[in-house]
Structure 1
Amino acid sequence: MAPTGPVLCKHRVGYVGVWRGRTAGGSPKHSSFFDNPQLRLRISNRQQELRVTLAQSPLHPGAGVHAVGFVLLSADEPAVARRTLGTPGGTHGYSAIQGIHPIPFTSGEERVDVVLKLERLKQDYILVPCTDSPGSEAAFALEIRSNYPLSLACLPKDGSPLPDPTAGGEQEQEQQQQSTSTPAPSAAVEIQGMATGISSARGYGFGNVGQSGVSEGEALLQKLQAAQFEDDAFHSLLTGSAAGKAGREVEWRRPRQVTEEPSPVEAAGVTTLLHPELHERAGGAPPGPSAGSWILGALAMLAQSPTLLQRCFVPGVHGKRGVLAVRVWHWDSWHTILTDDRLPVASGRLVSGGCADARQLSLALLIKAYARHHGSYAALRTGRVTEMLVDFTGGCSQKIELGDDGEASAVWEELIEIRDRGALLGCQQLAGADRAVEAQRLGVRTQSTYVILELVELSGLRLVCLRNPFLEPRWRGKWRAGAPEWFEGGDTSPLLGLQESGSEHAGAAVAEDESGVFWLSLEDFVRVFDRAHACRTFSRSTPRAVVFGEWDAGSAGGCLNYLCSWRRNPQYVLQLPCAARVFIAITQPPLLGSIGQRDYLSIGVCVLRGDGRRRLLTVTRDSLLGASPISDTREVSFSLSLPASTAEAPHIVIPYTFEPNETGAFKLSVWADVKFGLSPLAQEDEWCHTALAGEWDASSGGVPNPGNSRWQVNPQWEVAPLSQPTTVTIVLELAPPPHPDQPTPLALGCLVLRGSKASQQVDLIGPDDVLAQAGFARAAQVTCCVTLPASDEPCCLLACTFEPGQEAAFRLHLYTDQPISARAVQPDEVQSAPLGTSVAGSSFAIDSAASEAIAGSQQPRTDNAGEAGESEAGGAEASERPRDVPTAQPPEEEEAADQDTGHGRATAASGGPLRLLKKLPWRPGTPKRRGARRRGG
């Protein structure tokens, strides 16, 4: 059955099992259908295309093939008990089963290969592979490919629910989920070849009984040939090409061919040191991780934790047959990478991952499995340290930018907190300008990762202990081995203090350490290195919440720089019962291959002080509680201390892309020191939204100032009488909005006034008739919030530019807590004075200096996408290094909102009759510059 549609290969999951005995239940037309293996399928994208391949192989010699197929159903629960999906009936039983996706059976075919287009549901899909007739026994392999992440898990035989990986809040979910889905390789080969050629699995669970299909998978494994397994699908290539072995002096050897007594992988690599000579040879090694590569620094950091390193390897009898099984954290669950254990050797030494102790092969095996995961060794020439650490630990990455000496104290406190929480720590020098020259002078290797081993404070002296995995060059600055600083003070010398503190690396202060360990001061640390990075892991007892979402055409609003659209982003309510330390991470679906092929969006996340449980519409510096950097990496995170939230003022977490209209999926993860709640804004808590549109043309009158008798020609709307007090947030924006980097040519504003029906004559308006004022500022958007009283009379909205005759289109958004009705006031309803006449009763005027100031003001550039080299990209592939974007900052709060005048955020008092705006007895003021930084703190 030939598939149609594009090739889908970025993400792949699968399952290997058998139909035998009771599990050979036949098609839905038979009552035993529900005895077939049932698999839970979860997709991540709103609409996702999948390529599903089902292949079979006879269990017994001479047995024929069967008509096979699969049934796809929707489930109301994460796990579905058997015989609860419906009552089979009809010729083929399809129509009688609720939510079935009709996949026709193909008689006499060894495989079924189809492309499906599915929509993401609130519940999971249930996939049931089956034969047409009950009792038809065969082995089968199911493979599902997609360009977006997906997961496949076998449902328990007893129908009990599986853990829901998306559940969060008070119940912590185990990160090390056990799953039974196993991606098959090409379904064109027989089932035995499929079982042996499995390239990656999702928690394979060899021999794990009690779940449908797993014990059968173990039986298949036992049928493998006695010869050692070779992963022909991978070809063990260094280059990733079909001719990878040609012309290369590389041998592929089993661990016992590399060293006579290899250390068990469960214990190997804990105290090992990467062999520097293997990565310093010029031109002697075939393509692989190059000298100074990111991957070696990542493995050196991982080797500091025996527990985490040992957990990477999946134990089992498969190891005796030459099968290498390594666990990798992928998106939201553990996957198992399966390949052979042959390692590349050149000139008698390992090409990649060799250690000073030749018996230690664990790091070389990890690199082999990681190359299999990404498709080739060549794909590992560049990459990110933090991504690899997350893949092998299941933790979260965090970056700490190292600044000037004045920020050393803040850096120290942050590093101490991260260290105390058990994180792996490292640092890098990015080879940037003057800092790189100074680093090289002091013996620091640029573009390389150093391991942070210890942070020690001795009587106000703060010292950092590092390890250079490459040994050379040696540190030549202060506090080097044997430096005079260590011995000053006699009986109170820093050396004695270090020894008495119980430091494991005090010996490196006296003599050069053979493993590359050295000490330096905190001041030199922040002066020489550019960035520290951490991989944080969390215990099962740490409260955690995870939600999955996406930015689509309606919700991709961009960062806080985009004043007109950021509020469209997904918003989540964070309920925190007391003050606590919180860690927040936003993650994109993993992309495989070389770093140049991983085209991630620039993303970030912020926390704002909420106003009730409704969507936030405006932001000020005072409401911004914290924000991450914005970076085009897979994961962005930050930690912050938050006060307790209340029902009236919850914390609002907003993930965003840097630019608007960039679509994609994301995972939002939150950890805290106390139990908390995290949930999307409920639909019923959304504001009522009224969208109005208009434009200013050459006849528009500008601001209602004395001498400007044409201001009433501006667009006006009449808001119908309100039966109860109503909170209104008014947002006036240019359409389309200019880019944040571009100056805004107009000063715009909006007025809310008491009024009457548009057709009535209007008398002079006093100050009490003005309910609210938004603007006037040279900005793409102005806002204000007002609570309008209940009244039998309408009120009036006036949108205008500061100067008359300026042309532009605009949108006026009204966000209210009660439904309202607004109608446009027609031009013939407005009674305007003849041109050149003045308005009686006004007692103010704009002088020439103020007019010149208005004409010369413009919006300053908002902080946004400056570029910085990504230090974690390795070697000579500098052009592939991603950029980091500084944290987006909200604009300054408008002065009008800071004044208790009733023209900013105010509650309007009820009073006299509402009248249509015709005259203003006060001066609105001149435009203000958006985004200007406050001076003096």
Structure 2
Amino acid sequence: MPYTPSGFFCDRLIRERERRDGEGSLNKPVRFNGQDFSVLRQECLQRKSLFEDESFPATVESLGFKELGHKSNKVKNIVWKRPKEICENPQFIVGGASRTDICQGDLGDCWLLAAIACLTLNEKLLYRVVPQEQSFSEGYGGVFHFQFWRYGDWVDVVIDDRIPTFNNQLVFTKSAERNEFWSALLEKAYAKLHGSYEALKGGNTTEAMEDFTGGVTEFYEMKEAPKELYKIMKKALERGSLMGCSIDSLVPARFETRTVTGLVKGHAYSVTAVEECKPSQHKDSKVRLVRLRNPWGQVEWNGPWSDNSKEWATLSKTEKEKLQHQSAEDGEFWMSFEDFKKNYTKIEICNLTPDALEDDKIHKWTVSVNEGRWVRGCSAGGCRNYPDTFWTNPQYRLRLLEEDDDPEDNEVGCTFVVALMQKNRRKERKMGANLFTIGFAIYEVPKEMHGNKQHMQKDFFLFNSSKARCKSYINLREVTQRFRLSPGEYVIVPSTYEPHQEGEFILRVFSEKRNTSEEIENRIEADHPVPAPASAGEESEEDQQFRTIFQEIAGEVSTPSPLWRLSQEMEITANELKNVLNRVITKHKDLNTEGFSLESCRSMIALMDMDGTGRLNLQEFRHLWNKIKQWQGIFKHYNADQSGTINSYEMRNAVNDAGFRLNNQLYDIITMRYANESMNIDFDSFISCLVRLEAMFRAFQAFDQDGDGTIRLSVLEWLQLTMYA
């Protein structure tokens, strides 16, 4: 469901304030659903009762919404049980968490389990996600917690330990040890984060890798892999990076198919090691090997270097121990690097920091994080194929300040990685949401425009081609690509492929050397031209018409006077103003308007009412009409087709022409507040919007006595201001 302006933007302001207070860091994670693990556990221990999580209850709603929903036969015999009801002596972790603790159940989340298996290779990372101070004995209250990175923040997710079972067996993820439960509880916490278990069905290993680390992922297609892929993989594992791979399937991913070699198409694997060994028959050369794991906990490669293959006989005992070789149907196996490249089609590396993996040095990269939103009719402009709206997408100014220390192939420039991630689409699946097809383009800013933070307009994109862009628009949660460009200023434009698609995103920029990236936000300001007074004796036909109507409604005076000298005592109400305006405005056939509403006229009186009477005298009215005529000219300019409305994307320029410079958040609010279902704005709404802007700017400036751009209001002052405007 779309956010209301007040709801979304209040939430955004609160999140920004929390970040300033340190919320969302590793040391101070956000409490998911406001639940505090320590407080909840202490309450349970004091009450001597086990925790029951009302925000993720042991019901069908937590299982799913379609295949695991109310109408599904799959859920009828599922019983939620605590570990102590499933087995004797349950343990959180038995003998240390390892990759063999993860065996896939009846949920299509091999992508998640492959990432968990990778996570176990780095204890520091693992115990960041899986806090260790948890058990089924000391301090047990039926409550556990896990921590995930979520769109720029670390969040702490609390769960109870009721797990779905069938015939006393775990339905979903389980451990090879029947009495070990950390992996099942981790899966439950991740399901809660996304709304249900079913929301985890189908995905990309990189998604979970990033949620466990806050890292950024780079993809390599095997057919396009760099020559130094083995070296890249080796260095990545040495640095704690998580790595997954898969074999593309011609049929949809849900149809995982086992090949004659034992490998499974359309299935996610973990890469858990890369090593070199020296078989006895290879006196002067080494064989490169890759170790992989099938999250099923079974079904392995049966070719060269598989568990029981003849190749192992050529290795010494020392070599075998170094490789930790063992013959067991545990889903883990070795294969040669050459066979790995031949059989797998894609590899994904999640770098904890996107170091230049080809280099021998470990570089500390700069990371910039920006949150954004595409709003239908305002900032959801689609890709470059839609030039009329592309320019309205959010824009981010990137400044590359320093060149790389060790340029490759003597090619100077700044190396950086752009990662565009769409938010919340998995959680919103039950409401029919699918992943958008997303991408981004990068444009160089001309030197004469450096330092100018204004939003780039339509003409800029019509006459300038992109300097770099993502390889393709694709329907993944995140699109990532590495670039090298000369130092300078650039504009990154993230977008969906089609316009009018509404959603939130996070844009991250990682660079080897210093960079700054920030959303281009126009400075919020307004021009307030004073209407020129009419000269004595100069009355237009329209002025005469208004004087006649005004006198007719407000009351006769004995001696007709010029418009600007009519008695200040002659005043009209909002309803009378509506009659005055509409008797004249309806003569403008090109506006195709039904006239002003009473609410619009009340806002106009609030704008021009200098003496607080709730009425307008003729002088105040004349100032108002001069403004309306000015705004009417702007409306006519953008109403070129004489439809009586202007497009919501054009509204940005119309507001700017009226003398108001706003930022993207305010344009979003204007669209949601004033546009109709077709994303068009009629004349009445257009004038109402500008009246409101004028009034609010004027009120702010009245309170901002010292001109520092901030004001302090009491509750009474705030309500008086907003209620009357």
The TM-score with structure 1 as length reference comes to 0.45
2:104 pairs with 1:289: no
Aligned to 1:373: 193
Alignment CA distance shift 1:505-1:610 (3 Å): farther
Give the partner amino acid of 2:382.
Answer: G
| Rounded Cα–Cα distance in structure 2 between residues aligned with 1:455 and 1:620 | 49
Residue correspondence of structure 1 range 353-752 to structure 2 within 5 A: 353-403=173-223, 407=225, 409=227, 411-412=229-230, 415-416=233-234, 418-432=236-250, 440-456=259-275, 459=285, 462-481=288-307, 483=309, 495=315, 506-508=323-325, 512-538=327-353, 542-552=365-375, 553-562=377-386, 566-576=390-400, 577-579=402-404, 580-593=414-427, 595=429, 597-612=432-447, 613=450, 615=456, 617=460, 624-640=467-483, 642-646=484-488, 650-681=489-520, 683=522
| Rounded Cα–Cα distance in structure 1 between residues aligned with 2:256 and 2:52 | 48
Residue-by-residue CA offset, 1:68-100 (whole Å, 9 max, x unaligned): xxxxxxxxxxxxxxxxxxxxxxxxxxxxxxxxx
1:463–1:519 CA contact under 8 A, matched in 2: yes
| Rounded Cα–Cα distance in structure 1 between residues aligned with 2:94 and 2:486 | 44
| Rounded Cα–Cα distance in structure 2 between residues aligned with 1:427 and 1:362 | 24
Residue correspondence of structure 1 range 718-797 to structure 2 within 5 A: none
| Rounded Cα–Cα distance in structure 2 between residues aligned with 1:627 and 1:535 | 18
1:628–1:636 CA contact under 8 A, matched in 2: no
Alignment CA distance shift 1:668-1:263 (3 Å): same
1:250–1:346 CA contact under 8 A, matched in 2: yes
| Rounded Cα–Cα distance in structure 2 between residues aligned with 1:661 and 1:400 | 31
Aligned to 1:162: 21
State the percentage of identical aligned residues.
25
Count of residue pairs the alignment pairs up = 482
What is the Cα deviation at residue 479 of structure 1?
Answer: 3.5
Alignment CA distance shift 1:360-1:251 (3 Å): same
Residue-by-residue CA offset, 1:455-504 (whole Å, 9 max, x unaligned): 345757543221223344331333334545667xxxxx7x46x966xx97
2:256–2:265 CA contact under 8 A, matched in 1: no
Alignment CA distance shift 1:271-1:666 (3 Å): closer
Give the partner amino acid of 1:624.
Answer: K
Q: Any idea what SS the aligned residue of 1:533 has? A: strand
2:298–2:329 CA contact under 8 A, matched in 1: no
| Rounded Cα–Cα distance in structure 1 between residues aligned with 2:435 and 2:252 | 30
What is the Cα deviation at residue 442 of structure 1?
Answer: 1.7
What is the Cα deviation at residue 164 of structure 1?
Answer: 7.8
What is the Cα deviation at residue 410 of structure 1?
Answer: 5.9
| Rounded Cα–Cα distance in structure 2 between residues aligned with 1:232 and 1:246 | 23
Q: Any idea what SS the aligned residue of 2:185 has? A: helix
| Rounded Cα–Cα distance in structure 2 between residues aligned with 1:456 and 1:336 | 36
| Rounded Cα–Cα distance in structure 1 between residues aligned with 2:226 and 2:309 | 23
Q: Any idea what SS the aligned residue of 1:183 has? A: helix
Q: Pick from 170, 175, 182 the counterpart of residue 350 of structure 1.
A: 170
Aligned to 1:272: 100
Alignment CA distance shift 1:519-1:581 (3 Å): farther
Alignment CA distance shift 1:543-1:567 (3 Å): same
| Rounded Cα–Cα distance in structure 2 between residues aligned with 1:347 and 1:218 | 29
| Rounded Cα–Cα distance in structure 2 between residues aligned with 1:622 and 1:410 | 32
Q: Pick from 45, 48, 52 the counterpart of residue 5 of structure 2.
A: 48
What is the Cα deviation at residue 364 of structure 1?
Answer: 0.8
| Rounded Cα–Cα distance in structure 1 between residues aligned with 2:95 and 2:364 | 27
Q: Pick from 340, 347, 352 the counterpart of residue 160 of structure 2.
A: 340
1:429–1:528 CA contact under 8 A, matched in 2: yes
Alignment CA distance shift 1:247-1:363 (3 Å): closer
| Rounded Cα–Cα distance in structure 1 between residues aligned with 2:513 and 2:94 | 35
Aligned to 1:83: none
| Rounded Cα–Cα distance in structure 2 between residues aligned with 1:443 and 1:389 | 25
| Rounded Cα–Cα distance in structure 1 between residues aligned with 2:428 and 2:379 | 30
2:244–2:347 CA contact under 8 A, matched in 1: yes
Aligned to 1:263: 91
What is the Cα deviation at residue 341 of structure 1?
Answer: 0.9
Alignment CA distance shift 1:410-1:611 (3 Å): farther
| Rounded Cα–Cα distance in structure 1 between residues aligned with 2:335 and 2:157 | 40
What is the Cα deviation at residue 636 of structure 1?
Answer: 2.0
Residue-by-residue CA offset, 1:853-904 (whole Å, 9 max, x unaligned): xxxxxxxxxxxxxxxxxxxxxxxxxxxxxxxxxxxxxxxxxxxxxxxxxxxx
Q: Give the structure with the higher percent strand.
A: 1
1:601–1:633 CA contact under 8 A, matched in 2: yes
What is the Cα deviation at residue 607 of structure 1?
Answer: 3.7
Q: Any idea what SS the aligned residue of 1:206 has? A: helix
2:37 pairs with 1:178: no
Aligned to 1:311: 128
Q: Any idea what SS the aligned residue of 1:631 has? A: coil
What is the Cα deviation at residue 682 of structure 1?
Answer: 6.2
Q: Give the structure with the higher percent helix.
A: 2
The TM-score with structure 2 as length reference comes to 0.56
| Rounded Cα–Cα distance in structure 2 between residues aligned with 1:438 and 1:230 | 40
Residue correspondence of structure 1 range 320-331 to structure 2 within 5 A: 320-331=140-151
Moved more, 579-588 or 239-248: 239-248
2:369–2:506 CA contact under 8 A, matched in 1: yes
| Rounded Cα–Cα distance in structure 2 between residues aligned with 1:529 and 1:299 | 20
Q: Any idea what SS the aligned residue of 1:630 has? A: coil
2:99–2:116 CA contact under 8 A, matched in 1: no
Q: Any idea what SS the aligned residue of 1:272 has? A: helix
2:290–2:334 CA contact under 8 A, matched in 1: yes
What is the Cα deviation at residue 451 of structure 1?
Answer: 0.9
Alignment CA distance shift 1:470-1:163 (3 Å): closer
Q: Any idea what SS the aligned residue of 1:389 has? A: helix
What is the Cα deviation at residue 426 of structure 1?
Answer: 0.9
Residue-by-residue CA offset, 1:548-606 (whole Å, 9 max, x unaligned): 22334344343345566544433333223122542321122223547574423211134
What is the Cα deviation at residue 541 of structure 1?
Answer: 6.3
Give the partner amino acid of 1:515.
Answer: D
Alignment CA distance shift 1:247-1:374 (3 Å): closer
Residue-by-residue CA offset, 1:812-849 (whole Å, 9 max, x unaligned): x9xxxxxxxxxxxxxxxxxxxxxxxxxxxxxxxxxxxx
Give the partner amino acid of 1:431.
Answer: S
1:480–1:518 CA contact under 8 A, matched in 2: yes
2:51 pairs with 1:229: yes
| Rounded Cα–Cα distance in structure 2 between residues aligned with 1:467 and 1:429 | 14
Aligned to 2:553: none
Alignment CA distance shift 1:251-1:568 (3 Å): closer
Give the partner amino acid of 1:329.
Answer: W
| Rounded Cα–Cα distance in structure 2 between residues aligned with 1:272 and 1:512 | 14
Aligned to 1:253: 81
Alignment CA distance shift 1:440-1:246 (3 Å): closer
Aligned to 2:560: none
Aligned to 1:106: none
